[in-house]
Structure 1
């Protein structure tokens, strides 16, 4: 029967199981924080749901080389890409940005509300100290609370952080992202980075709210006519004079106006203040808002941002955790850990008979779970190597390990189409195909006296076409020897 070629042999791996080149492309778009974040997420997932199927990931991590932390990270990133966790991270980050946008909008509206509450509609004189309390009272209380919590525990702002994480998960709407938020918290707490990230969030939101209040105040003062008074029953007027001038000392250094003692005393009367007094009080209130509201938040936000960026460079994995220490023997075999790394031999009889040590040379024929009813191997040209029959987990792992070090230029895999194309067999075919320059599946004819099931053969054709693997119904020996039919 003539050979039937479904697709070019160079397309070895289909969309169903992912492409290694696409995975490498995705990894290059990740930041160092993203890589460690995904590594922690994979560890938490394995702690809760058990160990993942990671033979190929371990093999690629060993092939990648590096220290234990680098290999653990490489393994985790491959698993994250395979299981969709990498894509879930992108959706979670998009949800986090949307949640942050909602908080920023809330801060802007809150700041505008503070300005309207402090100045009113202009129909009544503004009590300067009531207005000042409306604009800065809650901000100062929260600032003192943050400073106290930072000094004692370092995690103040956790409620706002939990709100942000909760909104992020709601906006992401991805079940695969369940371990991303806990993994981020665990990773940041290791270097106490959570205090700086939450501090940046808290101070940034308050800074935006106060800036919004300042802009709205300027608009109101520019378009409405306000009178300013102070009132008291039991305090001496000199108390207000001293307090007003004390609060105006720092704003005066920045050029804001401060009412003098006569203006302050006159504002305590029931008669409307003079026009000059209106302008002085307005400048004083703006200066107090800037100096005691915006500037402290701006300085603290800048400090948190600086500490966040500087501490991120030291962020690493805790290799003493059980989930990581258990991988040491798998990813760092004792020979590699001692520094023994033999050079690649000139030829590997089990894989290829080529003379050189190029990354992809020679041709290889292997059988997949063939029974003893048919003679094997067939007569092969001298340039084609027989890799035997894969009929056990050990033989599969041994061949995959060898192919990762010495990939052949052409690989033919003989399959018995009397068997159903189950998921495990298809996954193995794709994994073998990733280790060769070009791959072709040889669907064997039925032994004498037997016939192939047409439906089952059709299932094989459909599955191989979905994987993007070329297949032939006759022996591809000429293709193996010469690279063409």
Structure 2
């Protein structure tokens, strides 16, 4: 037995995922042309709701059919692996900066070379991010683009090619891309600075370092002023700052007293914390706040041309405006599905039967006859009815003398997804006619590929009672 197609698996509260997949489908159609969406449109119309909800439902239905939901899961896995790789890179980078700044302890540490090693790259990248943020509208700098590129490569799914552009397109609506990727960039640098600070503390705790400053063209007054200026904010947090005598003594190319060593070590750690780690922490928190605030305001942009074109297909004018003319006294009664009113628990329908074949068979009163589907209009009308009023059981009669071509298989699949349980009835040939065994085998293979039960015996008992 085959169950009716269920609603898209994404939770209704996950607005970002719904919009993300909807935008991915739009980009896919923009690049590859319109998708085969007749069934998706029908399901969306049957689902009801406002136009944005129908557009999202249609996109999620197509995304599930075409594997985009699986591709999104693979992309997320790739994004996590890319994030983990970047975090490990940040950890090793931070530790490397600390080792490069202090060395092995054999030679005294030039305090300003050490400070430049610890903070120089971080401050240059921070300045680049700020300039890109203010003037170029950059969304995340080199690290952000590297993360997106790695996410796509590590997902190893060709269907995920539109996911990264779709995510950026959705986020651009509220200019959220800069906040999301900015959060990632500042988070990575926060990891790097934390790693550098912890490594710095570990080295200072386990090795004996002397500190000095050297110059050829500057006077000691410049170093005294700079050291005290940089130590002002750390001193407010309780970190030590070398006094003037200790600063002067450190310029004498000697190791200095023990108190001077501790003062320089405290000053270096304080400057590293205040000017290296705290700015990244504050920026990461700010980006997180802006990201959460903007994400709650995301919605579908109905002004996009692709969505305007979907309006008539998903929410026809007659549905939006209501009935404008009185119904005529007598309506044309089409051959397929005209007698279905939504109350049937079991339905029998036939596909492209030969006119000489006697139809319909004698049916129990509880089974409705949906006629014979011969043309596109009949198919569309019946599918619309079955989508709005899905029966409990549906039997699909087919003539196995015909070839099970792709169109017939697609129609059988669509019909089966409109009922809770479906079966295919392969009709016996009329008296005096033979059935090609190879053709019958083709039918069985085609129906097995659709995971549909099939039989050459009439399923009338099953239609009436639900069992054989």
TM-score (norm 1): 0.90
1:364–1:385 Cα contact (<8 Å) kept: yes
- C-alpha distance 385-29 of structure 1, shift in aligned 2 (>3 A): closer
- C-alpha distance 225-413 of structure 1, shift in aligned 2 (>3 A): same
Instruction: Report the Cα distance in structure 2 between the residues aligned to 1:209 and 1:478, rounded to whole angstroms.
Output: 71
Report what 2:5 is aligned to.
20
Q: 2:299 aligns with which of 299, 313, 316?
A: 316
2:193–2:277 Cα contact (<8 Å) kept: yes
Q: Is 1:470 matched with 2:458?
A: no
1:364-443 alignment runs, 5 A limit: 364-443=347-426
1:352–1:385 Cα contact (<8 Å) kept: no
Q: 2:96 aligns with which of 109, 113, 131?
A: 113
Deviations 1:100-158 (A, max 9, x none): 11111111111111111111111111111111111111212222222222122331533
Report what 1:5 is aligned to.
none
Instruction: Report the Cα distance in structure 1 between the residues aligned to 2:446 and 2:386, rounded to whole angstroms.
Output: 23
2:425–2:455 Cα contact (<8 Å) kept: yes
- C-alpha distance 141-481 of structure 1, shift in aligned 2 (>3 A): closer
Deviations 1:71-113 (A, max 9, x none): 1110000000000111011111111111111111111111111
Report what 2:329 is aligned to.
none
Report what 2:328 is aligned to.
none
Report what 1:296 is aligned to.
279
2:2–2:416 Cα contact (<8 Å) kept: yes
Q: 1:236 aligns with which of 194, 201, 219?
A: 219
Deviations 1:383-405 (A, max 9, x none): 33221111111111110101112
- Bigger drift between 372-381 and 203-212 goes to 372-381
1:49-128 alignment runs, 5 A limit: 49-128=32-111
1:415–1:441 Cα contact (<8 Å) kept: yes
- Bigger drift between 256-265 and 373-382 goes to 373-382
Q: 2:267 aligns with which of 284, 295, 300?
A: 284
Report what 1:215 is aligned to.
198
Detail structure 1 runs of 4+ shifted over 6 Å in the superposition. Answer: 352-355
Report what 1:256 is aligned to.
239
- C-alpha distance 371-108 of structure 1, shift in aligned 2 (>3 A): same
Instruction: Report the Cα distance in structure 2 between the residues aligned to 1:269 and 1:484, rounded to whole angstroms.
Output: 99
Instruction: Report the Cα distance in structure 2 between the residues aligned to 1:481 and 1:214, rounded to whole angstroms.
Output: 76
Report what 2:464 is aligned to.
481
Deviations 1:387-430 (A, max 9, x none): 11111111111101011122223322211011122232222222
2:82–2:151 Cα contact (<8 Å) kept: yes
Instruction: Report the Cα distance in structure 1 between the residues aligned to 2:322 and 2:290, rounded to whole angstroms.
Output: 38
Ranges in structure 1 where 5+ consecutive residues have no aligned partner: 1-10, 14-18, 342-347
Number of aligned positions between the proteins:
459
Ranges in structure 2 where 5+ consecutive residues have no aligned partner: 325-333
Instruction: Report the Cα distance in structure 2 between the residues aligned to 1:465 and 1:157, rounded to whole angstroms.
Output: 50
CA displacement at 1:201 relative to structure 2: 1.5
SS of the aligned residue for 1:178 comes to: helix
SS of the aligned residue for 1:425 comes to: helix
Q: 1:337 aligns with which of 309, 317, 320?
A: 320
Q: Is 1:33 matched with 2:23?
A: no
TM-score (norm 2): 0.93
- C-alpha distance 383-354 of structure 1, shift in aligned 2 (>3 A): farther
- Bigger drift between 314-323 and 324-333 goes to 314-323
Report what 1:186 is aligned to.
169
**Bigger RCO (CA 8 Å, 6+ sep):** 1
Instruction: Report the Cα distance in structure 2 between the residues aligned to 1:256 and 1:484, rounded to whole angstroms.
Output: 82
SS of the aligned residue for 2:10 comes to: helix
CA displacement at 1:27 relative to structure 2: 2.2
Deviations 1:418-451 (A, max 9, x none): 1122232222222212222332222111122210
Report what 1:270 is aligned to.
253
2:129–2:141 Cα contact (<8 Å) kept: no
CA displacement at 1:163 relative to structure 2: 1.3
Instruction: Report the Cα distance in structure 1 between the residues aligned to 2:406 and 2:13, rounded to whole angstroms.
Output: 30
Report what 1:16 is aligned to.
none
Q: Is 1:307 matched with 2:297?
A: no
CA displacement at 1:336 relative to structure 2: 2.5
SS of the aligned residue for 2:347 comes to: strand
Deviations 1:236-280 (A, max 9, x none): 212211211111111011111111111111111123200010000
Q: How well do the aligned residues superpose, as a CA RMSD in angstroms?
A: 2.2
Report what 2:330 is aligned to.
none
CA displacement at 1:349 relative to structure 2: 11
